[in-house]
């Protein structure tokens, strides 16, 4: 389990795509998005990174103040890389489609621990 401040996680999700931040924690992008929502951390909208890459105007939402002190620390329980198949470990940090493909190609039924159900 990794522990990070709400402010740190906010900076991370606004510095690179959610799938890449999620991979750093060993969780799915969906799990990370739900964690951010629970801790009231705004996240980039769909298409944010594509717009940014093409020079379009994007707006970073500010981190709202937090009244509930128990939400100031975020605990993220991702899977340990040792349980991932080599192909999934290699795909980690790439696009979700590449991770799913690595899972499909794996013969290990537990290859997708931390990435959802086995995609066979």
Please check whether residues 99 and 63 belong to one and the same domain.
no
Please check whether residues 60 and 89 belong to one and the same domain.
no
pLDDT in tens, 100-119: 777 777 666 555 554 544 44
Please check whether residues 63 and 14 belong to one and the same domain.
yes
Residue 96's domain comprises 80-120
Please check whether residues 28 and 84 belong to one and the same domain.
no
- Give me the number of domains the chain comprises: 2
C-alpha–C-alpha distance, residues 93 and 22, integer Å: 8
Please check whether residues 10 and 65 belong to one and the same domain.
yes
Q: Using alpha carbons, list the distances in angstroms from residue 116 to 24, 27, 52, 54, 113.
A: 16, 9, 29, 32, 6
Phi, psi torsion values for 44, nearest 5 degrees: -60, 145
Please check whether residues 24 and 45 belong to one and the same domain.
yes
Helix (H) / strand (E) element for 30: namely helix 29-38
pLDDT in tens, 47-65: 999 999 999 999 999 999 9
What pTM, to 2 d.p., does this model score? Answer: 0.66
């Amino acid at each position: 389990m990794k522990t990070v401040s709400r402010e740190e996680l906010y900076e991370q999700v606004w510095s690179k795509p959610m799938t890449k931040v999620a991979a750093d924690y060993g969780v799915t992008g969906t799990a990370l998005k739900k964690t951010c929502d629970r801790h009231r951390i705004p996240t980039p909208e769909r298409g944010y990174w594509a717009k940014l890459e093409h020079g379009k105007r994007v707006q970073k939402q500010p981190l709202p103040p937090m009244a509930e002190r128990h939400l100031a620390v975020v605990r993220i329980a991702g899977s340990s890389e040792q349980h991932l198949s080599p192909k999934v470990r290699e795909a980690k940090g790439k696009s979700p489609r590449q991770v799913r493909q690595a899972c499909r190609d794996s013969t290990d039924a537990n290859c997708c621990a931390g990435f959802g159900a086995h995609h066979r």
